[in-house]
Every structure is written in structure tokens, then in C-alpha cells.
Amino acid sequence: MNDVQNQPILAVENLTTSFHTRDGWKPVIRDISFHIDAGETLAIVGESGSGKSVTALSTMRLLPRDKSRIEGRILLEGRDLLKISEAEMRAVRGGDIGMIFQEPMTSLNPVFTIGNQLAEALVLHRSMSWREAEAEALRLMERVRIPAAKDRLHEYPHKFSGGMRQRVMIAMALACRPKLLIADEPTTALDVTIQAEILLLIRELQKEENMAVLFITHDMGVVAEVADRTLVVFRGDMVESGETGRIFANPTQPYTKALLASIPRLGSMGDARGPRRFPEVDLTTGIASEGLEMVRTSPETKPVVSVSNLSIRFDLPHGRIHAVENVSFQLHPGETLALVGESGCGKSTTGRAIMRLQKPTKGNIFIGDKDIADISGQELRRLRRSAQMIFQDPFASLNPRIKIGDAIKEPMLSHRLMSRSEAKDRVATLLSQVGLSPDMAERFPHEFSGGQRQRISIARALALSPQVIVADEAVSALDVSVKAQVSNLLLDLQAEHDLAYLFISHDMSVVERISHRVAVMYFGEIVEIGPRAAIFDNPQHPYTQRLIAAVPIPDPSRRAIMQPADSPEIRSPVRPMDYVHPTRQYREVSPGHMVQLDDHVGAA
């Protein structure tokens, strides 16, 4: 490392970044040091609020100048980025350092074409003319494997899927052949199968360019897949750093141990037949409680939800989307049925139909013995009591101006179930049931963390003592340790109240833990359904197999998803108006385990 030839691409020394608050300067990261060599990948891993994104933004000097203070040294090939002028820094941004962000849906400018945005970086840094830059932009799009790049060059971002937008972002970041690529949670918002493709793409391009990569993530599975070395951060402090293999095999710090212990892992179910609680980990000691198996108390009874031949279609000016096609399943009291699949597969639409938030085109949905299509008025209100929903985004699903106690009280009052004072007592009970303190009822949503807000949403859903809860990605947005706690809460509440869950999720490792049965959806259809163990241990449908294989395994010695795979062509969900859906045959693999026979996925 003393050799000038071998000096690291990026060396960060004693980086401390402070934000200006009402109480003066408050450090958000303290004394962070690391280096990255050419061709190497360093992962910075930590939960939300750990300062990992601040580290990246400090390196790029992208934090608001008047509200932040950066101390220490950030050496890019020996040049201190904190000492150069703003103009020199602009040459570094997008030139020497490329950056991709978490949100592919919002990171591209909606009013300029893809080609224009790609060309901009080239015009800025490589003094090309716009015409030359557009030609180069086309080559870049082909390099990140965007199909039909030539036609898509002049399209706007809203016509691209999330995965495709992230490819565009990567192309943009790599336009000027940077020495360092900073990837800030680049795959967090993507489906697992798309995530695998994007990670592979980054890896390949890194090899070709011998780039250093700073990879920021909260996902230990992704870390294990991509990182040569890993830096663990916790509340702004460096906890531990070293070879990724060593960190996973032999973590020395309690926090690292805790982080590793709380990761949901595929295949950790052992012989358990029902769901198993997540081990809960003390973040300061790193000691994990054993995740107990939940024993189902209620015997098989009549299903509480029964969906048969449900189809939901959306008509567009130029065709029709078959969002849900001929879906049938039953859900029993005390049971969790997971609905899995990638975004756009129809799983949320199915959940919304059960809540009668979405009108079915065809088919029946029974809750208890009532067909929900037929009811209205009083009966519908009663139905709404028996089925409740929890949403994904704990920040957006609570009204910021309503005290959480009132938010939980509202359904009880609007259904005229009890008086105000009774409702107040009930709120206190509900809050303690979800692990919050009753005196928190007087607070507003912004005073709570993401995990606490999700607990509030659960309390609100429980307020009417429902029989069914539709949980749409209810734990997806939460940090690992919080995810484990909230999942455990759901399991406990299920055992206590004999609740039936329709658990809509794309997160296979959580699904494996908490469900009794799993239904895999693909392009609006259930392609495989069965007991959890059967689906995970013996997946039959090619899509199920692909879905399970794409889940990153938090074990650096078993890198699995980085094998180049034939990704099937992305199909348009829009069909002609006169399209008639083929009738499908199912085969029973084992009792209750059905797989669709007509293999339309196209994989071997």
C-alpha cells in the first residue's frame, strides 16, 4: 500500500459529518475510515440511521453545504476531495466517481428522454457534442443490456420498469468510465429476480473496467454476494470491518453478531411444520433468543376466506391487462397463506379484492358464508369489521395530523361499537398488545420510528377484532432487527386471536418463516400453491424455482445468484381486447401441493 502504484482508489480517513440542528452541530457519522482498491468491492452495511448513505453523500460532497460539515480526509487517488474547489469537485462527480441511488423510479428526470440524460454526463465531462454523446449513449444502453436500445433512446423514464431504470442509472454512472462507483442500495427497491440481474451486471462491468465499488446496503444477503470486504456501521460509528468471509464466519462485535443473527435465512426451518418465530437479538450483547415454533391450536375448520376463479382485468385504450386470472384459494382461521411473486404479478390486486377495494371482473370471494360481491350497506360495514388491512409504507399510511390514539379509535367509533371512553380503554389495551406503551396514544405519527408505526398500523387493524388480516408487504420496509420483531408480533397475535393472514410479500425468507401455506403468483395466475415446506423444499414450477434461487444467501462461501442465467424475455402484461386466457391444468404433487402444468414460463 505504500507503493504509489498500489495506492487505493479511495481512502477515507477519520470522516466525521455533522448536521446543523437547532442545538448546534450534531455529528451523524463519527471517525469513519476505510479504503477501496481498484477492482475491489467494499460494502458498508447498517440499518436505517446508521449513517451509511451520509458516508456516500459526504464522499461526493452532495450534502447541503450550509447545513452540513465534513471533517477528516477523503482521498481519491491521493487527492483530498475536501480541499478542492466546487468546480474541481464537479469534474469528479460523474467523471471520476459515478453514483447510483436506491430509487430507480424517482432518480431519473421525468421530463427528459433517457438518451438526453445519458448524453448529458458525456457532454459535461468528455466534451462531446450532443450528437456524439447520443451515439455513445446508445452504446451504453446496449452495454447495460437494455433490449431494443435504439428505439428506447428517445423514450421518457416513465415508460421503463424499475429494473430497466436502474440499468439506465448504471449506464449513466458508468458513462465516463469512473474509477469508483458508489452504489447506494441499488437493488433494494427491486424484485429479487431483477436484483440478481442488476448485481450480476454491476459485477461484470466492474471486472471489465477494474473499477472500485463502494456498495451501500442493509441486506446482509447482498453483502455476502458482492463484497470483498465489509464495513459494519451502527448509529454513525464504525463497528467492525474486514474480509467479508471473516465477518460472516467470525464476527467479533456484538452488533455484527446481532445483525447476522437477525437475518431471515432461507432454509432455516429445520423440521418445523408450522411457522417459527424469528430469533430476537439484543443489539448490545448480540445474544439471540431461540426462534420457537408456533404450535397451531385451532383444528382445521371451515375456511374464513374462500376465493374461487377470481379474475380482475383492467381495460386500457389499447388492450387489456389481465391482472388476476382464475385465482382460487382458501384461508382458514389461524392460518397464514403467503401470496408471493414479483411486482405486477397481481398479488396486491388480489388482496385489495378481498377487502372489496377492487371490484372483481369474474369469480367469487366468500368471507365466512357471505359472498362479498352481493352485499352492501349495513352488511358491507359488518364485513369491513371482519377483514382488515395492513399496508407496506408505515410512513405514508398514518395521517400525520391525527394522534395515533385517535387513529386507532376511529374504526371503533365509526362502526359505533363502543362509547368514547370504552374506545379509549381499548386503545390502551391494543397499544400494549402490539408492544407499545398506552400513554403513546397522545402522540403524532412523526414521533415514532418505522417499526413503531407499523405496530400502530397493526393495532389499528386489530381494533375491530377482525378474523382476517390482509398484510400487504407489511414488514418489507423495515430494518432486519425490526422486521424480526414485527413478524414475531404478527405470529403472537395470530396465536392469540386465531387470526387468518393473507401475507402478501416478495421477501421469500420472511415468507418461509411465518407462513403455513404459500401461493406463488406469476402474471396474474397462481402457478404453484401448497404447504410451506413443500413449496420451499420441493418447488416444481420453473418460476418458483427461479424465485427461490434468486434470494441472496447470507453466506459468502455460497455465492449463488451471480451465475449468469438466461433471463426470460420481459413480457408485456397488456393483451389484445379479444384475448382469451387459456385454461390451465394443475397436477397434485403431494397432498395440497398443486402446480400448474401448462409451462408458459419458457425456462427449462
Applying CB under 8 A, the residues found at the interface with other proteins are 60, 62, 87, 90-95, 98-99, 101, 103, 106-112, 120-121, 124-125, 156, 158, 169, 172-173
CB-wise, 56 or 224, nearer to other proteins? 56
Q: To which H or E segment does residue 140 belong? A: helix 130-143
For the CB of residue 403, give the shortest distance to other proteins in the complex, in Å.
Answer: 27
For the CB of residue 173, give the shortest distance to other proteins in the complex, in Å.
Answer: 8
CB-wise, 156 or 586, nearer to other proteins? 156
Angle between helices 130-143 and 114-125 (to 10 degrees): 120
CB-wise, 189 or 231, nearer to other proteins? 189
For the CB of residue 31, give the shortest distance to other proteins in the complex, in Å.
Answer: 25
CB-wise, 23 or 374, nearer to other proteins? 23
Find out whether 513 and 338 touch, Cβ atoms under 8 Å. Answer: no
CB-wise, 60 or 321, nearer to other proteins? 60
CB-wise, 121 or 440, nearer to other proteins? 121
Nine-digit cell string for 88: 474541481
User: How far apart, in whole angstroms, are the C-alpha atoms of residue 321 and residue 400?
Assistant: 35
Residues facing 26 on adjacent strands: 19
For the CB of residue 65, give the shortest distance to other proteins in the complex, in Å.
Answer: 11
CB-wise, 124 or 562, nearer to other proteins? 124
For the CB of residue 94, give the shortest distance to other proteins in the complex, in Å.
Answer: 4
The string of DSSP codes covering 293-346 is BPPP-SPP-S-SEEEEEEEEEEEETTEEEEEEEEEEEEE-TT-EEEEE--TTSS
Q: To which H or E segment does residue 542 belong? A: helix 542-549
Cβ neighbours for 30, distance < 8 A, ≥ 6 positions apart: 16, 236, 237
Q: Which has the closest alpha carbon to 42: 27, 32, 28, 31?
A: 32
Output helix, strand, coil percentages for the chain, rounded to the nearest 5: 35, 25, 40
CB-wise, 121 or 550, nearer to other proteins? 121
The string of DSSP codes covering 266-299 is TT--TT-SS-BPPPPB-TTT--B---PBPPP-SP
For the CB of residue 337, give the shortest distance to other proteins in the complex, in Å.
Answer: 36
User: How far apart, in whole angstroms, are the C-alpha atoms of residue 308 and residue 366?
Assistant: 8
For the CB of residue 83, give the shortest distance to other proteins in the complex, in Å.
Answer: 18
User: How far apart, in whole angstroms, are the C-alpha atoms of residue 198 and residue 163?
Assistant: 8
For the CB of residue 139, give the shortest distance to other proteins in the complex, in Å.
Answer: 18
Find out whether 184 and 101 touch, Cβ atoms under 8 Å. Answer: yes
For the CB of residue 92, give the shortest distance to other proteins in the complex, in Å.
Answer: 7
CB-wise, 107 or 349, nearer to other proteins? 107
CB-wise, 130 or 586, nearer to other proteins? 130
CB-wise, 113 or 256, nearer to other proteins? 113
The string of DSSP codes covering 364-403 is EEEETTEETTT--HHHHHHHHHHEEEE-S-TTTSS-TTS-
For the CB of residue 77, give the shortest distance to other proteins in the complex, in Å.
Answer: 17
Find out whether 107 and 62 touch, Cβ atoms under 8 Å. Answer: no
For the CB of residue 131, give the shortest distance to other proteins in the complex, in Å.
Answer: 19
Find out whether 166 and 100 touch, Cβ atoms under 8 Å. Answer: yes
User: How far apart, in whole angstroms, are the C-alpha atoms of residue 215 and residue 52?
Assistant: 10
CB-wise, 108 or 227, nearer to other proteins? 108
In this structure, the strands spanning 237-243 and 305-316 are unpaired
Q: To which H or E segment does residue 72 belong? A: strand 68-76
Report in angstroms the alpha-carbon separations of 136 from 115, 141, 304: 9, 9, 58
For the CB of residue 171, give the shortest distance to other proteins in the complex, in Å.
Answer: 12
For the CB of residue 91, give the shortest distance to other proteins in the complex, in Å.
Answer: 6
CB-wise, 182 or 508, nearer to other proteins? 182
For the CB of residue 112, give the shortest distance to other proteins in the complex, in Å.
Answer: 7
First to last CA, the chain: 48
Find out whether 523 and 598 touch, Cβ atoms under 8 Å. Answer: no
Residues facing 217 on adjacent strands: 45
* DSSP state letter for 571: P
User: How far apart, in whole angstroms, are the C-alpha atoms of residue 371 and residue 519?
Assistant: 22
CB-wise, 51 or 360, nearer to other proteins? 51
CB-wise, 91 or 565, nearer to other proteins? 91
For the CB of residue 345, give the shortest distance to other proteins in the complex, in Å.
Answer: 24
Phi-psi map region of 309: left, alpha, beta (phi>0 left; psi -120 to 50 alpha): left
